[in-house]
Chains A and B, each alone.
Chain A
Amino acid sequence: MLRPRHLALLALLAAPASAAVVDYQLDPIASTVAFETDFGPDLITGTIPLELADLSLDFDNVANCTVEVALDVTGAKASFPFAAQALKGPKVLDAKAHPRMTFASTSVRRAGDAADVTGNLTIRGVTRPVTLKAQLFRPQGSAAGDFSHLTVKLTGRVNRSDFGATGWADMVGDEVRIIITAHIDAKG
């Protein structure tokens, strides 16, 4: 697990004095959604731009946290040109018909110093429950209780066939591993 060096991992229960539900907004430019999947003996890697992320974090009660993200499938990039076209084309994500991919949490549970975020993932208009692992980081140098700027890392894996994204199944792996790195700022 690559843990950004300059960030300090936050235990979700390390509540600041002014603990309450805090709403965050996304810094879309600094945030990335990276994915990788097997391609024969190699990997296809790529990114999909984050369009929107609505987070509200409750440092007292993890179960109260909610996460909602939307991705702009039409902006997907991949490690070589054919892969990006294949990815966006009708046989995989079908970006024309389904330009958005969304995730909305339904429950959040603490798991060690991370959290398991279960929610509904919608790809190609097909919704399936998935569980992502969430970790929160605070920029290095920020005060221990300062939660105004945070980095959320969500990791997980999905089988694209569950969503009907079956193109090139003979060449490209079914399991897709996802790493969302979202830089978020407290609202207000």
Chain B
Amino acid sequence: MGLRNGPESFGLVSRLFHWLMAILVLSLIALGLRLSSMEPGLSNLWLYGLHKTLGLTALGLVLLRILWHLISPPPGPMATGWERLFIKAWHWTLYALMIATPIAGWAGSSASGIDTLYAETFVVPPLVEADETSEFVWFILHEIFAKTLLGMVIIHMLAALRRGMAGDGTLTRMLRGKA
């Protein structure tokens, strides 16, 4: 079983990207919701650092994933006609949100005027200047993007499981490569 995608199959690289990022994105959403609802203190301040580090990692991974798909295109949904187009558009939107969400979080964090650290060590360059209004706007966008992503991922997961139970091979080829 190859690393590259085939006309009907997902290669190992694409599948690793998919499942690694699936876990990462779901954890990020859970962690993000925790951040926005907790009372910050010294004991949980590190969760912000963790969320930012994992979020920037997700941004890096999605860019690599797209680069990889330019080199080795994925098979495309197992459907025809408008349904195929619809699923493609859905997946593209997931990609767009996986880029837009961390960028908005990064911009909002930059606008707060505090250094954004990667892995508690490296200072990530600020995307925008420190400014309270822009901080507010970027975090609202971050929340909207992340919650839209969550909604779309839930539908995505349900659709994948439904197809998996119907046994059309969609879930199998994302798990094992071939239908």
Contact = CB atoms under 8 A, between A and B. Distances in A.
B117 to A, nearest CB: 9
Interface string A73-89: 00000001110011001
Contacts of B112: 86, 89, 91
Contacts of A82: 45, 114-115
Nearest to A92: B113
B80 interface: no
Contacts of B45: 80, 82
Interface in B109-147: 112-115, 130-132
Given A89-B130, A91-B132, A42 B113 contact: no
Interface majority SS (helix, strand, loop, mixed), chain A? loop
A41 interface: yes
B81 interface: no
Interface residues of A, number: 14
Given A90-B130, A90-B132, A91-B132, A85 B39 contact: no
A17 interface: no
Given A80-B45, A82-B45, A90-B132, A171 B114 contact: no
Interface string A17-61: 000000000000000000000011110000000000000000000
Pairs of residues from A and B, 6 with the lowest C-beta to C-beta distance, nearest first: A40-B41, A89-B113, A42-B42, A171-B40, A40-B39, A42-B41
Interface of A: 39-42, 80-82, 85-86, 89-91, 167, 171
Given A82-B45, A82-B114, 10 more contacts: A39-B42, A40-B41, A80-B45, A81-B115, A85-B113, A90-B113, A91-B113, A91-B130, A91-B132, A171-B40
